[in-house]
Amino acid sequence: MLDMQGAGQSTGHQTSDISGSVEGQAITFPAGPAMLHGRLYLPPKQPVAAVVLNGATGVPMGYYQHFAQWLARERQIACLIYDYRDFGKSAARPLRRSDVSMADWCLVDQPAARAAMRQHLPGVPLWIIGHSLGGMTLPLQDGIEDIDRVIGVASGLVHYTEHPWPYQASVRLFWFGIGPVAVRLAGYMPGKTLGLGADLPPNVYWQWRKWCTSKKFFYDEFGATLPQPKWGKVGAPVRLIAFEDDHVTPATSVRKLSGLYGVRHVTHQVISPADHGLKKIGHLGAFARRNSAVWPTLIGVD
């Protein structure tokens, strides 16, 4: 589940479908003891919805900016993108000194982003688009009652044995070989040095590893270190989107996430790149400019 791999690479040439620009405004907002940095993209007219885009592990907010601009310009949808604590623009201390966990990103930072959007756009229907990690833990969070729609993109509960070969070989190395050794030596996950993308706080790596190497993922932690799921109290519709060529989070792993939301709230869609005239999408490519043809499908308007 190497979300961060390839996230810093070029997203390709801009297409005619997404020409023009919408300037986002830089914002900061509190999340526990930290201040997070984000950008808010507003449409020219009153927005029909307000999207908080929760990013994938190790993927900086800049990767999502073209999609956010498209939402604002073409669909009249406001969009907030941001970086989690001790990462990207929200980094405030050396990674070796960071004590932030993946649960902090999910249970503190993501709700804080929703609160920030609510402050800026009260009363506008609130959507969550969660990329990978960004859609995995919403049912565990507080303050979810006013969410109107959830779109999970390549978001699922994946055990390392569920990755296809030969990709699974690199995952096993990441969790059981070079990954743990590198984190112990460096004091953080040196993703840049290892050619895996972004550097990550050490506890983010260790918790990520714990979840992805457990057959029950994080279910054993409910009621102990993690809250119990409570999506039944919300009832907002959830779309979980998988991609045929995603080796990081295969469609079977995306379907496993339905149990957290409750099957009656969830619809599934598996997207083939060829159906949109694309060569590949994979785990990260859905938000790349070169794959903008799939964007209407992501938000359910094609």
pLDDT tens for each residue of 127-185: 999 999 999 999 999 999 999 999 999 999 999 999 999 999 999 999 999 999 999 99
249: in domain: yes
Joined together, the tokens standing for residue 295 give 């964007």
9: in domain: no
3: in domain: no
DSSP assignment of 148-184, as one string? EEEEEES-----GGGSPTTHHHHHHHHHHSHHHHHHH
Cβ atoms of 151 and 128 closer than 8 Å: yes
Measured distance CA(114)–CA(55) in Å, rounded: 13
The number of residues in the chain equals 302
227: in domain: yes
Cα 142 to its chain centre, rounded Å, is 18
120: in domain: yes
Output the domain CATH number for residue 282: 3.40.50.1820
Measured distance CA(66)–CA(109) in Å, rounded: 22
> Each residue of 41-55: pLDDT tens digit?
999 999 999 999 999
60: in domain: yes
In this structure, what are the phi and psi dihedrals at residue 211, rounded to the nearest 5 degrees?
Answer: -65, -45
The range of the structural domain enclosing residue 87 comes to 16-298
140: in domain: yes
Q: Provide mean pLDDT across the span 103-107.
A: 98
Number of domains in the chain: 1
pLDDT-derived band at 302 (thresholds 50, 70, 90) equals low
277: in domain: yes
> Each residue of 55-76: pLDDT tens digit?
999 999 999 999 999 999 999 9
Measured distance CA(235)–CA(241) in Å, rounded: 18
**pLDDT in the model for residue 11:** 36
